[in-house]
């Protein structure tokens, strides 16, 4: 083999190794990201209900902070007391690898919040709307909150909340 | 109207009222029963995952006791540590009255348990199987536990557990 051929082969192998390493690294990062998203404090809250939105192809868990859970168990949620926080955790739907008739959580999609403060959020039924971003709860401004609130109007008789507590 | 006719009408009305009262009472009891079943201690546990078994037409929440939750968050579940308890809470599927594309919990169906004790339950992969009956956890005998275990065999590589934790 000529010296120039050796050089070319060496260069080719180096570039191939670099590309392979980069791919493996990227895939590892993606897998880590998918496996362990950053969640907020709701991870330690208790469960109110679950749902499967077939139109959106998402599975959800609705959790409540201590104030919300206590109110739900006493059936004193018309209205929910000030200080109640509801968290809606959303995953893209997936199927269980060993049981394809079972729809299970796939990739984490979002976590949204409703916070009850009848004075602070009086213009939106006493509810503030927000979402967890990188584990931190960020509230929407009034314009965005009014958009959220509009979708909750059909539930006026249930204090604007779609969830009916299933675990009480 | 004759006296005997009055008597017959009186009797008829009395019986009709009794039947109506009994029906209303029975329906009220049924509604109360459906609205508030007796749950076990898992009501205060934290969430591992949710699922929708389309074949069984049921929605499920899978909760863990403190030992199980700590293990899931540290990703130390192969095997789950002794003392872990997993609760599978099952509801018949229903649709949301104001959002029919949303599958939500209907009637409470059952709550089942897997308890890890690698010595006590060595013949069934270290898992004891049971269910909550009227809020009280009752373990199955070994014959019944072996039936449960057989269905979990395909998940041997995941310590016989179908659930992959979604909230960690």
Is pLDDT of A53 > 50? yes
Tokens of B71: 């293990």
Question: What does the alpha-carbon distance between residue A96 and residue B53 come to, in Å, rounded to a whole number?
Answer: 10
Nearest partner of A12 among A23, A24, A4, judged by Cα: A4
A20: confidence class by pLDDT, cuts 50, 70, 90: very low
Nearest partner of B49 among A124, A108, A115, judged by Cα: A108
> How many residues appear in chain A?
168
CB crowding A99-118: b at 16 or more within 10 Å, else e:
eeebbbbbebbebbbbbbee
Give the pLDDT confidence score for residue B46 in this predicted structure.
98
Is pLDDT of A9 > 60? no
Answer whether A39 touches B (CB < 8 Å): yes
Give the pLDDT confidence score for residue B82 in this predicted structure.
98
Nearest CB among B46, B52, B167 relative to A52 is that of B52
Maximum C-alpha span of chain B: 85
- Contact (CB<8Å) A59/B47: no
CA angle B89, A42, A64 (to 5 degrees): 60
Nearest partner of A59 among A16, A90, A19, A14, judged by Cα: A90
Nearest residue on chain A to B66, alpha-carbon basis:
A44
- Contact (CB<8Å) B50/A50: yes
Give the pLDDT confidence score for residue A8 in this predicted structure.
63
**Residue to test with chain A: of B152, B166, B168, most A Cβ within 10 A:** B166
Give the pLDDT confidence score for residue B9 in this predicted structure.
56
Report percent pLDDT > 90 for chain A: 77
Phi, psi (rounded to 5 degrees) for B39: -100, 165
Nearest CB among A36, A96, A167 relative to B39 is that of A167
Question: What does the alpha-carbon distance between residue B140 and residue A44 come to, in Å, rounded to a whole number?
Answer: 30
B chain contacts of residue A162, beta-carbon cutoff 8 Å:
96, 98-99, 102
Give the pLDDT confidence score for residue A13 in this predicted structure.
54
Give the pLDDT confidence score for residue A2 in this predicted structure.
54
Phi, psi (rounded to 5 degrees) for B57: 55, 45
Residue B38's region, left for phi above 0, alpha for psi from -120 to 50, else beta, is beta
Alpha helices in chain A (DSSP H): 3-35, 66-73, 142-152
Q: How confident is the prediction along chain B (168 residues), in pLDDT tens digits per residue?
A: 455 565 565 555 555 544 444 444 443 343 333 557 899 999 999 999 999 999 999 999 999 999 999 999 999 999 999 999 999 999 999 999 999 999 999 999 999 999 999 999 999 999 999 999 999 999 999 999 999 999 999 999 999 999 999 998
A136-139 and A127-133 beta bridge pairing: antiparallel
CA distance, residue A11 to nearest chain B CA (Å)? 41
Beta bridge partners of residue A92, listed in sequence order = A58
Residue that has been written with the tokens 């109640």 in this structure: A84
Count the helix, strand and coil residues of chain A and give each as a percent rounded to the nearest 5. Answer: 40, 35, 30
Mean pLDDT of A56-61: 98
Nearest CB among B36, B46, B63 relative to A168 is that of B36
A37: confidence class by pLDDT, cuts 50, 70, 90: confident
Q: Is B75 exposed, middle or buried (0-12, 13-18, 19+ CB in 10 A)?
A: exposed
CB pairs under 8 A between A and B: 100
Tokens of A162: 């779609």
Give the pLDDT confidence score for residue B33 in this predicted structure.
39
Give the pLDDT confidence score for residue B21 in this predicted structure.
47
- Contact (CB<8Å) A167/B54: no
- Contact (CB<8Å) A104/B61: no
Nearest partner of B58 among B100, B105, B10, judged by Cα: B105
Give the pLDDT confidence score for residue B36 in this predicted structure.
74
> How many residues appear in chain B?
168
Contact B69, B85 (CB under 8 A): no
pTM confidence score: 0.81
Give the pLDDT confidence score for residue B11 in this predicted structure.
56
Is pLDDT of A124 > 60? yes
Answer whether B161 touches A (CB < 8 Å): no
């Amino acid at each position: 083999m000529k010296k120039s051929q050796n050089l070319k082969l060496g260069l080719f192998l180096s570039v191939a190794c670099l590309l392979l390493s980069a791919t493996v690294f990227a895939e590892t990062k993606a897998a880590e990201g998918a496996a362990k998203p950053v969640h907020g404090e709701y991870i330690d809250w208790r469960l109110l209900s679950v749902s499967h939105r077939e139109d959106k192809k998402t599975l959800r868990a609705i959790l409540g902070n201590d104030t919300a859970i206590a109110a739900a168990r006493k059936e004193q949620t018309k209205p929910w007391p000030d200080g109640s926080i509801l968290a809606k955790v959303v995953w893209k739907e997936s199927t269980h690898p060993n049981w394809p008739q079972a729809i299970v959580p796939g990739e984490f999609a979002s976590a949204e919040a409703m916070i009850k403060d009848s004075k602070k959020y009086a213009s939106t039924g006493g509810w503030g709307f927000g979402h967890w971003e990188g584990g931190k709860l960020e509230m929407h401004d009034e314009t965005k909150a009014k958009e959220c609130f509009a979708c909750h109007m059909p539930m006026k008789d249930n204090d604007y909340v779609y969830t009916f507590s299933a675990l009480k």
